[in-house]
Amino acid sequence: MDVMTKTPPKKSEANASVVENTESKQIVHKDDSGNWKRKNSQFASRVQMTEDELILLFFQFDEVGKGGISLRDLRRVAASHDFTWPDEEMKHMIDFFDTDADGKLSLEDFTKIVERCNMRQGSENSQLPS
């Protein structure tokens, strides 16, 4: 189905289970009953974490266990993975997601990042269309 004009697919597209509309960032697919459904998320990450894996990853960043990911922690992890971001850019990343403005990312902030990137297993946005 063409999302913009709401017309059914042409005969050659009738058997397609997924039709992408990149202009509106929606995916249209047929569900099990043959009805067309829209999904707002355009992709799901290949990496899907359980809550336990998310917590373990958080503490890999927060190596000293202070309860937050600081600029120093982010710099260390970036360097260990050969990322070369300027300190100003990494500070901006932290400030963007830091909800309590303490200069560190809490577990709650980190969870929101993971969910926003569609990397949390079982979250609504992480489901690929059928």
Give the full edge-to-edge strand order of the sheet including 36-39. 18-21, 26-30, 36-39
Please identify which residue in the block is written with the tokens 């949390």: 120
- Whole-number average pLDDT of the chain: 75
* Residues 45-104 pLDDT 10s: 577 899 999 999 999 999 889 999 999 999 999 999 898 889 999 999 999 999 999 999
CATH architecture, range 51-124? Orthogonal Bundle (1.10)
**Mean pLDDT, residues 19-31 taken together:** 45
Show me where the domains of the chain are located. Answer: 11-42, 51-124
CA–CA gap between residue 6 and residue 36 (Å, rounded): 11
Confidence of residue 12 (pLDDT cuts 50, 70, 90): very low
Q: How high is the pLDDT of residue 94?
A: 95
- Do 111 and 54 touch, CB atoms closer than 8 A? yes
Q: How high is the pLDDT of residue 125?
A: 46
